[in-house]
Amino acid sequence: MSTGHDDLDAWKRQRTVELAFELADSGRYENFTDIAYALQFERGMATAQALIDDPDMRRLLNERCGDAREKLAPPPEPSIVEAEPSPVVEAVVESSNDHAELPQPAHFERAPSFLRRALSVVWRSGVKPVSAGDLNSAAS
Protein backbone atom coordinates (compact mmCIF):
# COMPACT_ATOMS: atom_id res chain seq x y z
CA MET A 1 0.00 0.00 0.00
CA SER A 2 2.91 2.30 -0.39
CA THR A 3 1.55 3.64 -3.70
CA GLY A 4 -1.48 5.13 -1.94
CA HIS A 5 0.75 6.77 0.61
CA ASP A 6 3.07 8.05 -2.14
CA ASP A 7 0.09 9.46 -4.03
CA LEU A 8 -1.10 11.26 -0.91
CA ASP A 9 2.37 12.70 -0.29
CA ALA A 10 2.61 13.82 -3.92
CA TRP A 11 -0.82 15.43 -3.69
CA LYS A 12 0.11 17.19 -0.41
CA ARG A 13 3.32 18.49 -1.94
CA GLN A 14 1.56 19.65 -5.11
CA ARG A 15 -1.19 21.34 -3.09
CA THR A 16 1.37 22.98 -0.78
CA VAL A 17 3.36 24.31 -3.75
CA GLU A 18 0.19 25.66 -5.39
CA LEU A 19 -0.83 27.44 -2.19
CA ALA A 20 2.70 28.76 -1.72
CA PHE A 21 2.62 30.23 -5.25
CA GLU A 22 -0.83 31.77 -4.62
CA LEU A 23 0.43 33.40 -1.43
CA ALA A 24 3.60 34.64 -3.13
CA ASP A 25 1.61 36.05 -6.05
CA SER A 26 -0.77 37.86 -3.68
CA GLY A 27 1.87 40.50 -2.91
CA ARG A 28 1.14 40.29 0.82
CA TYR A 29 4.26 38.35 1.76
CA GLU A 30 7.87 39.46 1.86
CA ASN A 31 9.63 36.13 1.18
CA PHE A 32 9.74 32.35 1.55
CA THR A 33 9.84 32.54 5.35
CA ASP A 34 6.58 34.52 5.50
CA ILE A 35 4.89 32.04 3.16
CA ALA A 36 6.08 29.00 5.12
CA TYR A 37 4.80 30.62 8.33
CA ALA A 38 1.42 31.43 6.73
CA LEU A 39 1.01 27.89 5.41
CA GLN A 40 1.96 26.31 8.70
CA PHE A 41 0.14 28.53 11.19
CA GLU A 42 -2.60 30.28 9.22
CA ARG A 43 -3.54 27.37 6.94
CA GLY A 44 -2.82 24.59 9.46
CA MET A 45 -0.39 22.78 7.19
CA ALA A 46 2.09 21.55 9.82
CA THR A 47 4.45 19.94 7.28
CA ALA A 48 4.31 22.75 4.70
CA GLN A 49 7.78 24.14 5.30
CA ALA A 50 9.37 20.69 4.98
CA LEU A 51 7.54 20.13 1.68
CA ILE A 52 8.71 23.37 0.03
CA ASP A 53 12.05 23.93 1.75
CA ASP A 54 14.72 23.56 -0.90
CA PRO A 55 17.02 26.25 -2.41
CA ASP A 56 15.30 26.41 -5.81
CA MET A 57 11.83 26.72 -4.27
CA ARG A 58 13.04 29.41 -1.83
CA ARG A 59 14.52 31.43 -4.72
CA LEU A 60 11.41 31.01 -6.86
CA LEU A 61 9.03 32.03 -4.06
CA ASN A 62 11.21 35.02 -3.12
CA GLU A 63 11.18 36.19 -6.78
CA ARG A 64 7.42 35.78 -7.05
CA CYS A 65 6.90 37.68 -3.79
CA GLY A 66 9.06 40.56 -5.08
CA ASP A 67 7.33 40.64 -8.47
CA ALA A 68 3.88 40.64 -6.89
CA ARG A 69 4.76 43.47 -4.49
CA GLU A 70 6.12 45.55 -7.39
CA LYS A 71 2.87 45.09 -9.31
CA LEU A 72 0.80 46.13 -6.30
CA ALA A 73 2.94 49.13 -5.42
CA PRO A 74 1.33 52.43 -6.34
CA PRO A 75 2.98 54.13 -9.29
CA PRO A 76 5.55 56.69 -8.28
CA GLU A 77 4.21 60.18 -7.97
CA PRO A 78 5.35 62.44 -10.78
CA SER A 79 7.93 64.78 -9.43
CA ILE A 80 6.49 68.25 -9.30
CA VAL A 81 8.94 71.06 -9.12
CA GLU A 82 7.34 73.84 -7.21
CA ALA A 83 8.29 77.17 -8.62
CA GLU A 84 9.26 79.89 -6.26
CA PRO A 85 6.47 82.42 -6.14
CA SER A 86 7.35 85.55 -8.03
CA PRO A 87 7.63 88.60 -5.85
CA VAL A 88 4.55 90.74 -6.15
CA VAL A 89 5.42 94.18 -7.36
CA GLU A 90 2.67 96.64 -6.84
CA ALA A 91 2.63 99.71 -8.98
CA VAL A 92 1.89 102.81 -6.99
CA VAL A 93 0.00 105.31 -9.00
CA GLU A 94 0.22 108.74 -7.55
CA SER A 95 -2.67 110.86 -8.58
CA SER A 96 -4.37 113.91 -7.33
CA ASN A 97 -6.72 116.44 -8.74
CA ASP A 98 -4.39 119.34 -7.94
CA HIS A 99 -3.20 119.46 -11.54
CA ALA A 100 -6.59 118.90 -13.15
CA GLU A 101 -7.54 121.32 -15.88
CA LEU A 102 -9.88 121.47 -18.79
CA PRO A 103 -8.56 120.17 -22.07
CA GLN A 104 -6.92 122.66 -24.31
CA PRO A 105 -7.88 123.12 -28.03
CA ALA A 106 -4.91 120.95 -29.07
CA HIS A 107 -6.41 117.99 -27.14
CA PHE A 108 -9.62 118.21 -29.20
CA GLU A 109 -7.84 117.25 -32.36
CA ARG A 110 -6.97 113.83 -30.91
CA ALA A 111 -10.44 113.21 -29.43
CA PRO A 112 -13.18 111.35 -31.33
CA SER A 113 -15.27 113.59 -33.51
CA PHE A 114 -18.50 113.60 -31.43
CA LEU A 115 -16.53 114.33 -28.28
CA ARG A 116 -14.46 116.93 -30.09
CA ARG A 117 -17.60 118.72 -31.26
CA ALA A 118 -19.18 118.67 -27.80
CA LEU A 119 -16.08 120.05 -26.13
CA SER A 120 -15.66 122.61 -28.87
CA VAL A 121 -19.14 123.95 -28.10
CA VAL A 122 -18.31 124.18 -24.40
CA TRP A 123 -14.97 125.82 -25.12
CA ARG A 124 -16.48 128.45 -27.46
CA SER A 125 -19.26 129.27 -25.05
CA GLY A 126 -16.72 130.95 -22.82
CA VAL A 127 -17.16 128.74 -19.78
CA LYS A 128 -14.34 129.57 -17.45
CA PRO A 129 -12.23 126.53 -16.51
CA VAL A 130 -12.55 125.62 -12.84
CA SER A 131 -9.33 124.89 -11.03
CA ALA A 132 -8.90 122.75 -7.93
CA GLY A 133 -7.98 125.84 -5.95
CA ASP A 134 -11.37 127.39 -6.78
CA LEU A 135 -13.16 124.30 -5.47
CA ASN A 136 -11.19 124.25 -2.23
CA SER A 137 -11.95 127.90 -1.51
CA ALA A 138 -15.66 127.62 -2.16
CA ALA A 139 -17.86 128.54 0.76
CA SER A 140 -19.41 125.59 2.54
pLDDT digit string, tens, across residues 45-61? 888 889 889 999 999 99
Q: How far apart are CA 131 and CA 108, in angstroms?
A: 19
DSSP letter at 110? T
The residue type found at 43 is R
Residues of the chain with pLDDT under 50: none
Runs of H (alpha helix) within 80-138 = 105-108, 113-124, 132-136
pLDDT on residue 135: 55
User: Distances from the Cα of 30 to the Cαs of 14, 44, 62, 99, in angstroms?
Assistant: 22, 20, 7, 82
Q: How far apart are CA 60 and CA 57, in angstroms?
A: 5
* This prediction's pTM: 0.51
Positive or negative, the CA dihedral 19, 22, 26, 30 is positive
pLDDT on residue 3: 73
pLDDT on residue 55: 94
pLDDT on residue 91: 61
